[in-house]
Structure 1
Amino acid sequence: MTSSDRSASRRTVLTALAAATAGAPFLGQLAAASPAAAADPLEYPSNTAMYTAIGTEEGTTFGRRHRRHERFDLSLTAKAEHPRTAVLALHGGGIEIGTSELCLGIAGYSPSDPAGAPVLPSVHDYFMFEGLLSSGNKALHVTSKNCDDHVALALAASHLNVLSLHGCTFDQLKLPTASFPAAGDRRVAVVGGLNPAFRTALVTELTAAGFPAVDSFAAPYAATLADFNGSHTANPCNRTMLGMGGQLELTTELRQSLFDDSSSRSARAATWNGAFVAFRDACRRAVATVEAAQPIL
């Protein structure tokens, strides 16, 4: 199957899923896609390729949201605050559930009222790409190192730090069973990115808040967590003004624990709970720790 065939087949599946969301017949449309296409695990090679193929479906199949806060310096003598940290959810919505809501929360906004006023005393810029289908959102996943969304990259490039939020499963991580038995606590945050100070702050704050967290570069985990450590220089978390940033890979169980009902976008917006607040605040403390060591030059 050629790349153009894969793109067309993937589009057929996505169109059928979008139609199902709108209440149109689904099984008949899926039958129009070849069995190989329906099982095709290949992702879009970039956001540009995705937008070229299904850009007209923005708002139904996928959506993007971002916020940049106005800051300016009109003085020739005083130093003004500079936006130092941005929060990203590159696989939000139904792709990696909970990451959109966390993105909003860490940025200082309420998942229940994302367009409203901040709910915390300080705010961060943010970007989210979100799957909007009722199912099948994995077809919208673009690997982080292949992300070329212009807004996401511009946001990263204009900040000292990026905290990028992702989801994974516990079994994917293959953590040492002595420390993380399969029948034990499967809520795990894998901390990555090329900024070691950011990683240390995140592990410290999340652990203190009661969330198991590991530095993916630490000796006990480095060999098995290479695919989850956010080390690629093309990863938006590292495409900052400093060329390094932070990333969190959060297991399904951890993300689900942050909501009383994680089954849908509306349910998550309405039922984020005390664990969500604790996780949000731990991340914000880690951000503050890193920012405090970054004076305005």
Structure 2
Amino acid sequence: MDKYSNFEALIAEQTEGRDFRVRVALREGAMVASIAPHGGAIEPGTSELAIAIAGNQLSFAVFEGTKATQNRELHITSTNFDEPRCIEVVAGARTAVAIHGENSQEATVFTGGADMMLRSHINNALLDAGFTVREHENPNLQGKSPLNICNRGTNGAGVQLELSRGLRNTFFESLNAAGRARQTQEFHQFVDAVHQGLSRAGLL
């Protein structure tokens, strides 16, 4: 259960620049927004991945927990996530790829979202790169609701990638702030695979 039902409720108690930060880039002509609505220390490693996937071509939006402790309380579920700058970035793109963190230890990418064609392209590219890919058994982690932030681009459908903790552990020296600054070969292989999927879909 989230502590906050939306961003307005969150900012009534939390302070930007101390407890959280928002980083966005809305790039002209970009068809894809790469996003991490639970970045920083909320779901560690997701904002680094979203920004790396965006590179210099795609738009991005990350909401990051920066508290010393208890960052999980900054989690706003994806169907309620309404931080205005992030919404603007997603609304300015055709589709979105949302990066999330899931807590299981098996190294798995759980793919979801309403864009079945783009999901298929990304799934296949990840499989080609040697990643384990499947749909999560929990319907709440499948990203299919039209209210989900990943499905709020102009085509009404996007992709949600839930990355297990076991997988994210392989992407960084560790999942603390210092460790996330040192990324592994697996991190770059994942980013490259997502790019391959976007390219196969004609979006990159």
| Class of the TM-score when normalised by the shorter of the 2 chains | over 0.9
The separation in 2 between residues aligned to 1:254 and 1:135, in whole angstroms, is 23
Question: How many equivalent residue pairs?
Answer: 204
Paired position in structure 1 for 2:6: 46
Instruction: Give the residue type in structure 1 aligned to 2:199.
Output: A
1:134 positional shift: 2.6
> 1:60 and 1:189 mapped to 2: Cα distance?
31
Q: Does 1:280 align with 2:191?
A: yes
Q: Which residue of 2 aligns with 1:233?
A: 146
Q: Which runs of 5+ in 2 are unaligned?
A: none
Give deviations 1:227-270, integer Å, cap 9, x for gaps: 111011111100111010001011001011101222x223211x
Q: List per-residue Cα deviations over 1:2-55 (Å, max 9, x = no partner).
A: xxxxxxxxxxxxxxxxxxxxxxxxxxxxxxxxxxxxxxx54200012111332x
Higher helix share: 1
Q: Which runs of 4+ in 1 moved over 3 A?
A: none
Separation in 1, partners of 2:61, 2:166 = 24
Q: 1: CA distance between counterparts of 2:153 and 2:119?
A: 15
1:98 to 37, 42, 45: 45
The one of 172, 177, 189 equivalent to 2:109 is 189
Q: Give secondary structure in 2 for the equivalent of 1:105.
A: helix
What's 1:267 paired with? 179
- 1:175 — aligned with what? none
Identity %: 30
Partner of 1:162: 96
Q: Structure 1: which 5+ runs fail to align?
A: 1-40, 72-81, 109-117, 172-185
* SS of alignment partner, residue 13 of structure 2: helix
CA distance in 2, matches of 1:207, 1:60: 39
Larger Rg: 1
Matched residue, 1:86: 33
Q: How far apart, in 2, do the equivalents of 1:131 and 1:228 lie? A: 20
What is the aligned-residue RMSD (CA, Å)? 1.6
TM-score normalized with structure 2 length: 0.94
- 1:147 is aligned, of 58, 76, 81, to 81
Secondary structure in 2 matching 1:48: helix
CA contact (8 A) 1:84 1:291 kept: no
TM-score normalised according to structure 1 size: 0.66
Q: Is the 8 A contact 1:193 1:229 kept in 2?
A: yes
Whichever structure has more strand as a proportion of its residues is: 2
8 Å contact kept, 2:109–2:163: yes
SS of aligned partner of 2:67: coil
Mapped to 2, the partners of 1:162 and 1:288 lie a distance apart of: 14
Whole-Å Cα distance in 2 between the matches of residues 230 and 207 of structure 1?
Answer: 20
Larger RCO (CA under 8 A, 6+ residues apart): 2
In the alignment, is residue 128 of structure 1 matched against residue 88 of structure 2? no
